[in-house]
Structure 1
Amino acid sequence: MGGRALPRYSQIVVELRRRIETGELAPGDRLPSTREITKQWGVAMATATKVLTELRREGLVRALPGVGTVVEAPSRPVRTARPSSAPSAASAASAPSAPGKAPDAPSGQSALTLERIIAAAVTVADAEGLAAVSMRRVAGELRAAPMSLYRHVADKDDLLTRMMDTAIAEHPLPAAPPEGWREAIELAARQLWELFRRHPWFAPALSVTRPQLVTSALPYSEWILAVLHSHGLDLHSAFTAHLMLLNYARGIAVNLEADREAEAHSGLDSEEWTDTQEPALLEILATGRFPALSRLAAAGYHLDLDALFEFGLQRLLDGLASLLDENSAG
């Protein structure tokens, strides 16, 4: 009898590791993104994230700000003959720096800037989750001294706010909304959902009760307020509706990061984990106490967060339509 098959993410790691070791993917070459991995291998986003995290843990790849995940250069470069009087680049690089002096940036590397710091932090968060982002980790990605980051950001909270501001700025709303209020709200809500999808760490980082001052998010608030107010809703009710829609999208999106973390700890994606729970569930359903759930289990149910978001969005908009009709009648 054969051994248990490798988890799906491990199979993909083996394949990408082979490409790196054979030179098919050379140092500096870009690896498939998590989105590309999901399409090429037909796996969930969390599985794709686990793949890149494992390769990074093995030291085979690294996150390159503004580029993505690239193949790391070999840790033991090939030695070439040099005149004995001239120090090698390797020995110069390994020589200790003067006390209190940050290591010099590698040749050709851009100077440390706020934009590069934010880009590096977002890249790490996208690949490994917000828990992996620290000032030391971001500095390591930039080959800089950790303390040098504090010349550009006050602390990690400041960095997080700037990360959120940068991420949402990638999804600007059109200059003018569609004429219909429902179409306009749908457009804004779906763009927020896409933002949460692209950056799974964003939703759990966003606070509704203690909102961060994310400047790039203000156009979304203004958009929904203006649309609903222009169709007869008072500003107070319009802003409450805005918070309802925001927190609805956020509430579903927090599952993206949670699922990624759970898979990293267990090595099982959501479908594999569900399979492990099925026997216990079927045993409970066999008692006959839950006939509706039994019929559903027999028919099968596939959880699709995109479909769940769209279903709930339409029901919320139905409720807003009723409220707008009441205001109009009043």
Structure 2
Amino acid sequence: MPRPRSLTKSDLGAAALAVIDRDGLSALTMRAVAKELRMATMALYRYVSDRAELEVLVVDEVLVGLDVSTPAEADVRDRLSLLLERMRAAISAHPATVPLVPRHRKSSTATLRWMEAMLSVLTEGGFAGPDRVIAQRTLVAFLLGFLQNEHYASITAPETAAIARLSPDTYPMLTQTAAQAREMSVDDEFRGGLGIVLRGLAIE
């Protein structure tokens, strides 16, 4: 195979993301990425040492165009919602990468920039010290949990329909809730849940 003149981190991230989008997360290997780049597998080790480094580059590639600016004149609730909506949209465009975000959120430059923006908005909203830590981690936990549910346990999934068909005598609340969930959109679920979290943090 011809040896490439030079590769950037973006080149590597884009190639790894192409493999994941096409064949799934389990298909991400050094060999697969090297093949995507039309190079020898061993040559790839000149740029990254292992799959974990590739995964970080994938997260950065998924979030490469993420806008972390928010209108200064908007209230804190709207600014936080905007940051969370943008992150959700970027990751949902590549659903197979969902598990990589919690795994590498402290290593990816893109996620660090997003968290810095979140903390800045929280600070402007009056959060400081332990309260800011809790608020930020709660919002991140909500987003990551929602992404897992959206792509692996969606309210539209067959399992939800199966729960709705269980005996209402044995599971009255569960069957009723599952039936109602099937009538909701994923967007409504996200915004409704986010609203509950924001109110719980006293962010109006």
TM-score for the superposition, normalised by structure 1: 0.53
How many residues were matched structurally? 202
SS at match of 1:238: helix
Per-residue displacement from partner, 1:178-210 (whole Å, max 9, x unpaired)? 4311111111111111122112234311337x7
Structure 2 partner of 1:284: 167
Quote how far apart the aligned CAs of 1:256 are: 4.8
Residues 44-83 of structure 1: pairs in structure 2 closer than 5 A:
none
Q: Quick one: which amino acid aligns to residue 104 of structure 1?
A: P
Structure 1 partner of 2:49: 154
Residues 261-280 of structure 1: pairs in structure 2 closer than 5 A:
270-271=157-158, 277=162
Structure 1 partner of 2:133: 239
Q: Quick one: which amino acid aligns to residue 311 of structure 1?
A: G
SS at match of 2:99: helix
Return 129-138 or 113-122, whichever deviates more.
Answer: 113-122
For residues 153 and 170 of structure 2, the distance between their equivalents in structure 1, rounded to whole angstroms, comes to: 30
Q: Quick one: which amino acid aligns to residue 228 of structure 1?
A: L
For residues 148 and 167 of structure 1, the distance between their equivalents in structure 2, rounded to whole angstroms, comes to: 24
Structure 2 partner of 1:201: 96
Find the partner of 1:135 among 17, 20, 30.
30
Structure 1 partner of 2:191: 310
For residues 179 and 40 of structure 2, the distance between their equivalents in structure 1, rounded to whole angstroms, comes to: 58
Find the partner of 1:120 among 15, 19, 23.
15
SS at match of 1:207: helix
From the CA coordinates, give the structure whose radius of gyration is larger: 1
For residues 109 and 68 of structure 2, the distance between their equivalents in structure 1, rounded to whole angstroms, comes to: 14
Q: Is the CA contact (8 Å cut-off) linking 1:196 and 1:203 kept in structure 2? A: yes
Structure 2 spans left out of the alignment, 5+ residues: none
More helix by share: 2
For residues 172 and 151 of structure 2, the distance between their equivalents in structure 1, rounded to whole angstroms, comes to: 33
For residues 294 and 139 of structure 1, the distance between their equivalents in structure 2, rounded to whole angstroms, comes to: 49
Matched, 1:217 2:114: no
Q: Is the CA contact (8 Å cut-off) linking 2:70 and 2:82 kept in structure 1? A: no
Structure 2 partner of 1:181: 76
Change (3 A) 1:236 1:220: farther
For residues 181 and 120 of structure 2, the distance between their equivalents in structure 1, rounded to whole angstroms, comes to: 43
For residues 172 and 144 of structure 2, the distance between their equivalents in structure 1, rounded to whole angstroms, comes to: 33
Q: Quick one: which amino acid aligns to residue 247 of structure 1?
A: A
Structure 2 partner of 1:170: 65
Change (3 A) 1:141 1:256: farther
Quote how far apart the aligned CAs of 1:130 are: 1.7
Quote how far apart the aligned CAs of 1:176 are: 4.9
Change (3 A) 1:177 1:219: farther
Find the partner of 2:2 among 97, 104, 125.
104
TM-score for the superposition, normalised by structure 2: 0.81
Q: Quick one: which amino acid aligns to residue 187 of structure 1?
A: L
Quote how far apart the aligned CAs of 1:294 are: 5.4
**% identical equivalent positions:** 26
Per-residue displacement from partner, 1:99-156 (whole Å, max 9, x unpaired)? xxxx226xxxx74513322211011222332211110011112221111111111211
Q: Quick one: which amino acid aligns to residue 150 of structure 1?
A: Y
For residues 29 and 49 of structure 2, the distance between their equivalents in structure 1, rounded to whole angstroms, comes to: 13
For residues 143 and 133 of structure 1, the distance between their equivalents in structure 2, rounded to whole angstroms, comes to: 15
